[in-house]
Amino acid sequence: MKQVLHSFTSNNLCMEQKKPVGLWIRVSTDMQGDSPKHHEERARMYASMSQWDIKVIYRLEAVSGKSIVERPEFKQMQKDIKAGYITGLIFSKLARLARNTRELLDIADYFQQHQADLISLGEKLDTSTAAGRLFYTMVAAMAQWEREEISARVSASVSVRAKLGKCTGGAAPFGFQWDKEANQLIIDEKEAPVRKLMYELFLETKRKKTTAIKLNKLGYCTRKGSKFTDTTVDRLLRDPSAKGLRRANYTKSRGNKKHWDVKPASEWVFVACPPIVSAELWDKCNHFLNDQHSKQKKRGKLSDFLLAGFIYCVCGEKMYVYHSYPVYRCKGCKNKITVEDIDEMYHSQLKDYLYLEDNGAKYKAEAAAMLVEREGLYHTLSNELKAVNDKAHTLLEMRFTGEMTPQTFVEYHKPFEERRAQIEEQLPQLEGEIDHLKIQQQSVDTVLQKAKDLYQSWPTLGLPEKRGIVEMITKEIIVETEMVIVRLQNLPTPHLSQNGGNKQRSFTDS
């Protein structure tokens, strides 16, 4: 059995390089306040505090945020996210990224799909942290609610149109086309003979794949110009439109434009249309299809593993479960550990992680003290900047009224200008530090609480619930020859040593 070494860290990972990120700098004409330079310096300081690597800066100065999806900078940013050139985007406020709610939801969904992070300094949001990932959960819930609302309205209208025999959207079935004036299906003289031949070939061969091969050899293809497959043949053979019954209102989209579910048969609507084959031929083919389907062996449910995706070999390669035997393996150096062992280790160590609560309290107190110090310095500098501006303005008025000569004005005004430049350079850097400290503080609380919840509820939680918490709090798990290192998000790093067989813990900041 491998020894477990506890380790909590967020950025200094021995298995990973610095996180590549981009900066999003947008200040429109209707947005008053800080300059683009201020936003950039603040974001740069946050990236520096997080030990991230800034790869690109997207600049959209004097650009409205009403809609940004057509902007070339936005499209380039999407390409960079998709290619993995950057895995995070830092910006000053959500309103600087997008002021259109629908676009913001779509952007968040796109980032989540590509495992990239959104970092909004104004809202203290960083989805690379445990606390920040709750944002994706909230956005997903909002998007799901919106989809369901739209789907409910569309479904209601589809049902009514279907009962009236009208088109409910989508392309006409293969072998037909829509007569727009009459609003009904008519025979497509080019496709209908191919669909009829499909039934005749299947009745002869009793094989979907063989039917598809024969159609392809004869030079026929689908409406989109693709070759026929057994899946296409099965779908078209089962479609009752071929025997003169157009089926409507029988599917429901899941909202991702790719998948759909079949509605209950009680909601289906059938409308008469011109037949391509006889009802007898259709029934014979479908009888064989149903008989073949009932004899097929159903595949068992694929195994799900709680820690899949988080386990790395000490050589740096990710470890996977291959075949049906529940063992994580490294293909390179043949290192391995059973699923049962590593799940048990992870669970048992959650209790030891809770030991961090006392140490975590000390860590949080130190972080809070640093935060108070930085905020105090920020307010002091802000007040000083106001005083400097007021004094510089007074000198300027004296110069305008002739109370001060040009030479004297320059002599007295220059120190104020120099000090103002120094303060304006320091302020965004301080803001970046404050943003980082606040976000890290939020994440420490979240990780500790979620680790506690997972440990205490382990026997009663199902796999999806456990997996959700694991994804939120776990950074990586490294399997070495004699030990396993578990790293949690955004916490101080404990170092373990063995002295005479007794484990000793010491905590330092990661």
The reported pTM is 0.51
Least confident range of 55-64, 334-343, 430-439 = 55-64
Q: What is the CATH number of domain 20-127?
A: 3.40.50.1390
- Model confidence at 347, pLDDT cuts 50, 70, 90, reads confident
Is it the case that residue 7 has pLDDT exceeding 70?
A: no
Q: What backbone phi and psi angles, to 5 degrees, belong to 250?
A: -115, -5
CB 379 within 8 Å of CB 435: no
Over residues 258-275, the mean pLDDT reads 72
Q: What is the pLDDT of residue 302?
A: 42
Per-residue model confidence as pLDDT tens digits over 459-491: 888 888 888 888 878 888 888 877 888 887 765
CB 79 within 8 Å of CB 89: no
**How is 18-55 classified by DSSP, letter by letter?**
PPEEEEEEEE-TT--SS-HHHHHHHHHHHHHHTT-EEE
- Model confidence at 495, pLDDT cuts 50, 70, 90, reads very low
- Model confidence at 431, pLDDT cuts 50, 70, 90, reads confident
Over residues 368-383, the mean pLDDT reads 88
Mean of per-residue pLDDT scores for the chain: 78
Distance CA 33, CA 51 (A): 28
Least confident range of 164-178, 306-320, 447-461 = 164-178
Q: What is the CATH number of domain 170-294?
A: 3.90.1750.20
Per-residue model confidence as pLDDT tens digits over 113-162: 898 998 888 888 888 887 777 776 676 666 556 556 655 565 555 554 54
- Helical (H) or strand (E) element with 201: helix 192-205
Q: What is the pLDDT of residue 80?
A: 94
- Where do the structural domains in the chain lie, given as residue ranges? 20-127, 170-294
CB 4 within 8 Å of CB 486: yes
- Model confidence at 433, pLDDT cuts 50, 70, 90, reads confident
